[in-house]
Amino acid sequence: MTNRLKVLELFAGVGGFRIGLENADKNLFQTKWSNQFEPSRKTQDAFEVYNYHYPDSENINIDIAKISNNKFHSMDADMIVGGFPCQDYSVARSKKNEMGIEGKKGVLFWEIIRAASVIHPKYMIFENVDRLLKSPAKQRGRDFAIMLTALNSLNYSVEWRVINAADYGRAQRRRRVYFFVFRNDLPYAIHLDNKYDVNSFFINDNLYDELLFKDGLFAKQFPISKEILKGRQMSYELPKDIVTTSDEFYGKVYNTGIMRHGRYYTIDSVPYSEENPVPLKKILQPESQVDDKYYVYDKKKIDKFAYLRGPKRIERVSSDGHTYTYSEGGMSPYEDLNLPGRTMLTSEGTVNRSSHWLKIKGRYRFLTPIEAERLQDFPDNWTKYKLVNNKVEEVSDRMRMFFMGNALVTTVIKNIGLGIKNIIDKYD
Its pTM stands at: 0.93
pLDDT higher than 60, residue 91: no
On whether the CB atoms of residues 338 and 281 are closer than 8 A, the answer is yes
Over range 369-391, report the average pLDDT. 97
- Asked if residue 66 belongs to a domain, the reply is yes
Of the listed ranges 81-95, 162-176, 322-336, 382-396, the least confidently predicted one is: 81-95
- Residue 373, classed as helix, strand or coil, is helix
**pLDDT at res. 41:** 81
- The rounded distance, in Å, linking the Cα atoms of 47 and 137 is 34
Of the listed ranges 159-168, 199-208, 401-410, the least confidently predicted one is: 199-208
**End-to-end Cα separation, the chain, in angstroms:** 10
- Residue 325, classed as helix, strand or coil, is strand
Of the listed ranges 90-104, 157-171, 390-404, the least confidently predicted one is: 90-104
**pLDDT at res. 411:** 98
Structural Rg of the chain based on CA atoms = 23
Residue 293 CB: number of other CB atoms within 10 A? 10
DSSP string, 267-308: EEEEE--SPPPPPHHHHSPPGGGS-GGGEE--HHHHHHHHHH
- Asked if residue 347 belongs to a domain, the reply is no
- Asked if residue 74 belongs to a domain, the reply is yes
- The rounded distance, in Å, linking the Cα atoms of 83 and 179 is 10
**pLDDT at res. 102:** 43
**pLDDT at res. 225:** 96
- The rounded distance, in Å, linking the Cα atoms of 69 and 201 is 36
- Residue 426, classed as helix, strand or coil, is helix
**pLDDT at res. 21:** 98
| Residue of 65, 86, 118, 351 with catalytic role | 86
Give ∠ CA 416-422-425 in degrees, rounded to 5: 145
- Asked if residue 379 belongs to a domain, the reply is no
pLDDT higher than 50, residue 200: yes
What is the bridge-based pairing of β-strands 323-328 and 295-296? unpaired
- The rounded distance, in Å, linking the Cα atoms of 284 and 270 is 30
- DSSP secondary-structure letter at 199? G
**pLDDT at res. 364:** 98
Of the listed ranges 162-166, 309-313, 399-403, the least confidently predicted one is: 309-313
- The rounded distance, in Å, linking the Cα atoms of 344 and 368 is 13
pLDDT higher than 80, residue 89: no
On whether the CB atoms of residues 394 and 369 are closer than 8 A, the answer is no
**Percentage of residues of the chain with pLDDT beyond 90:** 79
- Asked if residue 367 belongs to a domain, the reply is no
Residue 193 CB: number of other CB atoms within 10 A? 14
Strands in 165-214 per DSSP E? 175-183
Over range 58-78, report the average pLDDT. 97
Give ∠ CA 274-276-280 in degrees, rounded to 5: 165
| Mean pLDDT estimate for the chain | 91
Q: What are phi and psi of 15, to 5 degrees?
A: 100, 25
**pLDDT at res. 86:** 65
- Asked if residue 242 belongs to a domain, the reply is yes
What is the H or E stretch that residue 232 is in? Answer: strand 224-237
User: Is 387 annotated as catalytic?
Assistant: no
253-311 pLDDT, tens digit each: 999 999 999 999 999 999 999 899 999 999 999 999 999 999 999 999 999 999 999 99
Tell me the residue length of the chain. 428
- The rounded distance, in Å, linking the Cα atoms of 254 and 198 is 20
Q: Structural domain of residue 117, as residue ranges?
A: 5-275+410-427
Which of 279, 253, 273, 255 lies closest to 264, judged by CA?
Answer: 253
CATH number at residue 156: 3.40.50.150
Residue 26: pLDDT band (50, 70, 90) is very high
Counted domains in the chain:
1
Q: What are phi and psi of 242, to 5 degrees?
A: -70, -30
Over range 403-411, report the average pLDDT. 97
- The rounded distance, in Å, linking the Cα atoms of 235 and 213 is 16
Question: How many H-runs (helices) and E-runs (strands) does the chain carry?
Answer: 14, 17
Residue 325: pLDDT band (50, 70, 90) is confident
pLDDT higher than 60, residue 164: yes
pLDDT higher than 70, residue 114: yes
- The rounded distance, in Å, linking the Cα atoms of 127 and 116 is 16
- DSSP secondary-structure letter at 337? T
DSSP string, 73-99: HH---SEEEE-PPP--------TT--S
Over range 408-417, report the average pLDDT. 98
**pLDDT at res. 96:** 42
- Asked if residue 176 belongs to a domain, the reply is yes
Give ∠ CA 182-34-7 in degrees, rounded to 5: 35
What is the bridge-based pairing of β-strands 295-296 and 363-365? antiparallel
- Asked if residue 94 belongs to a domain, the reply is yes
DSSP string, 102-140: -SSTT-THHHHHHHHHHH--SEEEEEEEGGGGG-SGGGT
